[in-house]
Chains A and B, each alone.
Chain A
Amino acid sequence: MHIPDGYLSPQTYVPLYGAFVAVTIVAVKKIKKEMSARNIPFLGMASAFSFIIMMFNIPIPGGTTGHAVGSAVIAIILGPWSAVVGVSVALIVQALMFGDGGITTIGANCFNMAIVMPFIAYFTFNIFYKVIKKKGKIGISAFISGYISLSFAAILTAIEFGIQPLIAMASDGKALYCPYNLKIAIPAMAIEHLLLFSIIEGIITALIVKYFVKAEPQMIYFLNKGRKNE
């Protein structure tokens, strides 16, 4: 899901850079307002977690690879605004230091994995957490949250890839950027995520959220929203 340089046209990556910067400015303000000092080490470790979990490429035998992102678990435990900053830092380090994801596409990659994904995750979690009345609803809601948010982010990435042939073509009909259209990109990205990678994201999200809720319920964002505990 790390879009490399050259796959997106400037018409696509420039607006996404703009959206990324705008949301980050809001995130900074929200973190100032919402987070307390004892969250600081966890914010750092959340970013590190997102970085390392993305290095675990999961293979589809004979096919492609994919990976979890960690945005869902961070959004539930530390809040979606913290996830915006933590995951963005991880993605920028990956692009600059390791060439994983392009430089021109930092805005796009952060938009998909560090903005859209944690917010979808957070809202999905909250909806299911309220609707489900059974015991174990935290784990179930967290799984669904991870599953849906990564699938959504993957399809969004596929749309960004797939609209490139519509935006620009060379005069000889050859592609200038990503050569695959929506009809190819969306099924390819959707199927591999819905059937495998998102399930992994869901399991990771459920296990870690359950562990943290048990270990330190007073630091969990969704349980203490809007309150500052010192």
Chain B
Amino acid sequence: MNKLQKKTLIFLIVLALVSPLGILLPKYFNSGEAWGEWSADTLKEQIGYTPEGIKKNSETWKAPLSEYTVNTEDKSILHQSFYYILSGIIGTGIALIITYIISKKLIRNDKQNP
């Protein structure tokens, strides 16, 4: 690993460790969900009903770490921050490894027939 790679990796780890800012700041400023990303319940509060397609499709997939946590009910800052950091590390790790493997495969193949 060269110097720049090492520095970039450290930068990514630091970002993962401070990632709870991404949930704490919105909480502090009393900001809600992103536009267009409301849950079925929030949408019902806004317009008085849940559109049929959203009712049907919003439960199509159960993500293992849905909303970057294991328990959306536990609102304590410590719990949320811990799982947010954990999600950050797992997610960046998986994205890094998958993209690394894909590019390694692509770029190595190319070298055999330049």
**Assembled-state Cα–Cα distance A85/B107 (Å):** 13
Docked-complex contact A61 and B9, CB < 8 angstroms: no
**Assembled-state Cα–Cα distance A86/B23 (Å):** 24
Q: CB of B82 within 8 A of chain A?
A: no
Docked-complex contact A85 and B103, CB < 8 angstroms: yes
**Residue of chain A at shortest CB distance from B12:** A48
- Binary contact track A180-195/B, C-beta < 8 Å → 1, others 0: 1000010011001000
**Assembled-state Cα–Cα distance A41/B87 (Å):** 21
Q: Which residues of chain A come closer than 8 Å to B107, judged between CB atoms?
A: 31-32, 35-37, 39-40
Q: Which residues of chain A come closer than 8 Å to B73, judged between CB atoms?
A: none
Q: A32-B110, A49-B12 are in contact. Are A55 and B5 (CB under 8 A)?
A: no
Q: A52: which of B15, B26, B67, B100 is its contact (CB, 8 Å)? A: B15
Docked-complex contact A47 and B67, CB < 8 angstroms: no
Q: A6: which of B9, B54, B65, B111 is its contact (CB, 8 Å)? A: B54
Docked-complex contact A57 and B23, CB < 8 angstroms: yes
- Minimum C-beta distance from B71 to chain A (A): 14
**Residue of chain B at shortest CB distance from A165:** B51
Q: B103: which of A44, A55, A168, A178 is its contact (CB, 8 Å)? A: A44
Q: B65: which of A45, A46, A86, A98 is its contact (CB, 8 Å)? A: A98
Docked-complex contact A93 and B95, CB < 8 angstroms: yes
How many residue pairs between the two chains, A and B, have CB atoms under 8 Å in the bound complex?
230
Q: Which residues of chain B come closer than 8 Å to A55, judged between CB atoms?
A: 19, 22, 68, 84, 87-88, 91
Docked-complex contact A52 and B99, CB < 8 angstroms: no
Count residues of chain B with CB under 8 A from any CB of chain A: 69
**Assembled-state Cα–Cα distance A96/B51 (Å):** 23
- Minimum C-beta distance from B29 to chain A (A): 4
Q: B67: which of A7, A51, A99, A192 is its contact (CB, 8 Å)? A: A99
- Minimum C-beta distance from A191 to chain B (A): 10
Name which of A64-72, A123-131, A136-144 contacts chain B. Answer: A64-72
Q: CB of A53 within 8 A of chain B?
A: yes
Q: B25: which of A6, A57, A96, A103 is its contact (CB, 8 Å)? A: A57
Docked-complex contact A104 and B32, CB < 8 angstroms: no
Which residues between 25 and 67 of chain B lie within 8 Å of chain A, taking CB atoms? 25-26, 28-37, 40, 43, 47, 49, 51-58, 60-67
13 new A-B contacts, CB < 8 A, other than A44-B103, A67-B22, A174-B52, are: A35-B103, A42-B8, A43-B100, A55-B22, A55-B91, A58-B25, A63-B31, A93-B91, A97-B91, A100-B67, A102-B61, A178-B36, A215-B7
Please report B residues at the A interface, Cβ cutoff 8 Å.
Answer: 1, 4-5, 7-9, 12, 15-16, 19, 21-23, 25-26, 28-37, 40, 43, 47, 49, 51-58, 60-68, 84, 87-88, 90-100, 102-104, 106-111
Please report A residues at the B interface, Cβ cutoff 8 Å.
Answer: 1-7, 9, 28, 31-33, 35-37, 39-53, 55-67, 82, 85-86, 89-90, 93-100, 102-104, 157-158, 161, 168, 170, 174-180, 185, 188-189, 192, 212, 215-216
